[in-house]
Copies of this chain bind each other. A is one copy, B any other.
Amino acid sequence: MNDEIRIAVLGVGKMGSFHVESLTRRTRGARVTVVSDVSDEQAHRVGDPIGARVVADPAEAIAADDVDAVVIATPGSAHEAQVLACLEAGKPVLCEKPLTTEAATAAAVYRRETELGRRLIQVGFMRRFDREYAALQQMIAGGDLGAPLMLHCAHRNPAVPEFFDSEFMIRDSVVHEADSARFLLGEEIAAVSVVRGRPTAEAPAGVSDPMLVLFEAESGALVTIEIFVRTGIAYEVRTEIVAERGSALIGLDQNVVTKRAGGTWGGTITPDFVARFGQAYDDQMQRWVDAARAGIASGGDAVDGPGSWDGYAAAAICEAGVAAVVKGERIETGMEDRS
């Protein structure tokens, strides 16, 4: 297929406008024809320079004739309805995480997609497209290291908005580890515990930042996660796998330039997720566009990455995580059978 597919981007705030820019300047084979946002002004600010129509109603945007596929970057609460509308319209969709905000609705989305018989939903767990995560996953899956026993994760942001409370840290930040732990271990998470420690002085009253989150995988492998979103330092995402015959580590600061001056040596810390994962977002987009074009052409599946089951699994883990934060005890995820 030589022609570009036509994309509607729903929600063009920080994340959605990043996707618009990726589609417009760095991705081949797609063109943004429609943008939609609760703010008409923001929709025009993003859509006008690239000649995209502004459509206020997301459902209308999904249904539009000049839309072949959809990118969803609206708030999580809007995802369920929008993803289901894409399914019914038979249009490929790349949905930012979370797939939906509850495990039950995410499971329902997964079942509906299964009923319709065609994989159209990809969830934006873009770490799977990061070259470090991808290389680590291949190393584990290749079997050289033997069975995974522990996975140690650190997830640190320099700063977040005031509303990031302990529950939100699980839903919005730890959700990435929920997916990447499943991706790396190749199995489901059975239970979640959270230990609240001493909060940083930067944390609002009542917010436990940092926290220690513990996942237990079905095999018994343990996942430790330090989630700390007000470090004041940098964006740091580090993961170490400890397996029966070796260990492997990703996410140490990268040596773009190592400088020696003023009595110290070192480099600049990654300031934000774009610097760390920009390449992963762009690769995710190009590969999704390629898969969507192929799916549209063939009438078959249109996914190259995590799908609706992965979205459900992450939702189930985060739901258990939030319960673990609130109740202070170990919570089983109680995931459905996939069959």
Residues of B within 8 A of A212 (CB): 150, 214, 222, 224
Task: List residues of A (181-239) whose CB comes within 8 Å of B's CBs.
Answer: 195, 197-202, 210, 212, 214, 216-217, 219-222, 224, 226, 228, 231-234, 236
Contact A244–B200 (Cβ < 8 Å): yes
Which B residue sits closest to A208, measured CB to CB? B220
How many positions in chain A have a CB within 8 Å of any CB in the partner chain? Answer: 73
Indicate whether A108 reaches chain B with its CB closer than 8 angstroms: no
Q: Given A150-B212, A265-B269, are A256 and B131 neighbors across the interface (CB < 8 Å)? A: yes
Residues 244 to 298 of chain A near chain B (Cβ within 8 Å): 244-250, 252-269, 271, 279, 286
Max count, chain B CB within 10 A of own CB: residue among A152, A216, A236, A265: A265
- Residue of B135, B150, B202, B266 near A265 (CB, 8 A) is B266
Stretch in contact with the other chain, from A8-16, A20-28, A38-46: A20-28
User: Which residues on B sit within 8 Å (CB–CB) of A197?
Assistant: 149-150, 216, 220-222
- Is the CB of A62 closer than 8 A to any CB of chain B? no
Given contacts A228-B149, A263-B269, A266-B267, contact A139 B257 (CB under 8 A): yes
Bound Cα distance from A138 to B264, whole angstroms: 17
Q: How far is the CA of A152 from the CA of B268 in the complex (A)?
A: 22
Given known contacts A145-B261, A264-B266, what 18 new A-B pairs fall within 8 Å (CB)?
A27-B28, A136-B257, A139-B257, A146-B200, A146-B201, A147-B201, A152-B154, A197-B220, A198-B219, A212-B224, A233-B261, A246-B260, A247-B260, A250-B257, A265-B268, A265-B269, A266-B266, A266-B267
Q: Which residues of A contact B (CB under 8 A)?
A: 2, 24-28, 51, 131-132, 135-136, 139, 144-147, 149-150, 152, 154, 195, 197-202, 210, 212, 214, 216-217, 219-222, 224, 226, 228, 231-234, 236, 242, 244-250, 252-269, 271, 279, 286
Q: List 12 A-B contacts (CB under 8 A).
A: A25-B28, A144-B261, A195-B222, A197-B221, A198-B219, A224-B224, A233-B246, A247-B260, A248-B260, A248-B261, A264-B264, A279-B279
The 8 closest A-B pairs by CB, nearest first: A266-B266, A246-B261, A198-B220, A197-B222, A248-B259, A253-B265, A249-B258, A200-B244
